[in-house]
Structure 1
Amino acid sequence: MAETLGYDILLVDDDGEIRRLVSKLLREDGHRVTSVGSAVEMREAIARCTPDLVLLDVMLPGTDGLTLCRELRASSSLPIIMLTAKGDDVDRIVGLEMGADDYLAKPFHPRELLARIRAVLRRARPSEGGGAKTGREIRFAGWCLDTARRELTDPRGVVIDLSTGEYDLLLTFLETPHRVLSRELLLDATRNRDAEPFDRAIDVQVSRLRRKLETAGEVIKTVRGAGYLFVPDVERT
C-alpha cells in the first residue's frame, strides 16, 4: 500500500508526456505536484511556494538541469533528484557535484522513483516522535552537528549549509569515527540503495563535504583501496 506523505513536489521536465505520467503517479501516492517544462517556469513556481522536493531533468531547453541544480543549491538545501538520460555517468557525477541528493536514469520503474523520493525526503526531515536522539549535539574539532535541527555550525558559530546527502554522510562518519568505512557502506548509508560497481558517487560526496569542512584541517582521510576514515575525536552531548 502506498504511504501517504502529502509532500509538495516540483517536477521539471520539458517532455509533456513524462510530466503527465509522473504527476499522475505522484498524486496517486498522496503527493501534491506542480509540473513545469523550463527554467523560467521552475523559478516562478519556487517563488510562489517552496516545494519539499524537486525532480529535475538534466536535458532542458535553454538553461539545463545541471545549471539549475547548482543555482538551487547555492541558495538552499532543497532536496533534489536529478533525472538523467540512459544512466549517463558524466551527468550523474556532475549532478552530484552540483549538489543533487540522488539521481535516476530514464526510463525508470515507477516503484523505484517513489522509493528514491521517500528515501530522500526521510533523510531531509528530522525524525518525529521524540526519542533519545532529539536535541543531540555531536561535536568535533570545534564544530557542532545538531541532529534535531540537522544543522552544522563551525567554530565561529556560522551555520554551514548541507544537502541531505552531505548531512547523512557526515552523520555516518560521526557515528563511526577512527574506523575505515568502505565506499559501499557509505553509499548504502547516504543513498539507501545498493552500490553499483565502480560508482564514483561517494567520492563526489566526500569531496563536497571536505570542501565545506576545509577549515577544520584533515577531517576525512582517504585510505587507499579501502575507503575513508573520519580523523577527529567525537563528543556527544
Structure 2
Amino acid sequence: MALFDAAPATGESVLAVTRLDTRAIRALGDGVPPLLAGLVRADSARRPVASGDAPSGNPGGQGLAERLAALAAPERERALVDLVRGRVAAVLGHADHTAIDADRPVQELGFDSLTAVELRNQLATETGLRLPTTLVFDQPTPRALASYLGDRLTVEETTPDEPVLAELARLEAAIEAAATDASAHGRITARLRELLDTADSAAGAPADASAQGRDDDLEDDLDSATDDELFALVDELN
C-alpha cells in the first residue's frame, strides 16, 4: 500500500501486479464494478440481461431486421434505443437497462476504451454490421448510437396488413379442418365475425359494417340471380 500511495508522486504511468479474487468481486451482487471490469473480464460472468430488457442476440442481424420491419417508425426507433441501452447495461454489469439515460453520454457512466470496444462488439453481433472501433466516441449517447444503427440497417418495409394476412393464411387450413364439426363451426364463425367487427371499429366504420356488407352482398346476389337460381334457393329452404 505504501508503494501504491507513492506511485502518483512519480508523475509517470506505473505498472502494478496484484492478486484479485474474481469470485469475491462477482459476489458483490451487481456484476463486476465498472472500475474493475477491464481487469477481470476474462473470467467474469456477466449477469444475463432479462428478456424484457433488450432483444436477444441475432448474429448477422437478420432476426433484428425482421422484427424492426414489422414496427412503425416511432416504435422502430424506440426498439433500437432500448437495444443500445440494454447492451450498455450489460457491459457495465447492470441487470436493468431502464437506469440508462438514452441522452446521457456513456462515457459519463464509466466507459473506457476497453468497455467501448466491448459495446461495439456486442452491437456488431446484434446488428450484423461492421462498426468502427471509435463508435462510442463518435456517437456518445444511446440515442445517437441507435440513430446511427438505424441509418445503416437494411430493413424491408412491410405494410401493416402483411403480418396479419400471413397469420390468417397459416390458420386457413386449420379452420377448414375444424369447421367440419358443426359445434366447432359455430364457435369459429362467431369468433371470426367478432374479429371483423374489431377491424371495422379500428377503421372507424360502424360496428355493424361487416354485417351490413354481408347483407348488401346478399341483396346483390338476389338481384342478379336468375329465376332458376331463385327457385332452387326456395327448394333448399323448404
For the aligned pair, the TM-score class normalised by the smaller chain equals: under 0.3
Structure with the greater relative contact order (CA < 8 A, sep ≥ 6): 1 or 2?
A: 2
Question: Normalization by structure 2: what TM-score?
Answer: 0.26
Greater gyration radius: 2
Question: Normalization by structure 1: what TM-score?
Answer: 0.26
Q: Structure 1 or 2: larger helix share?
A: 2
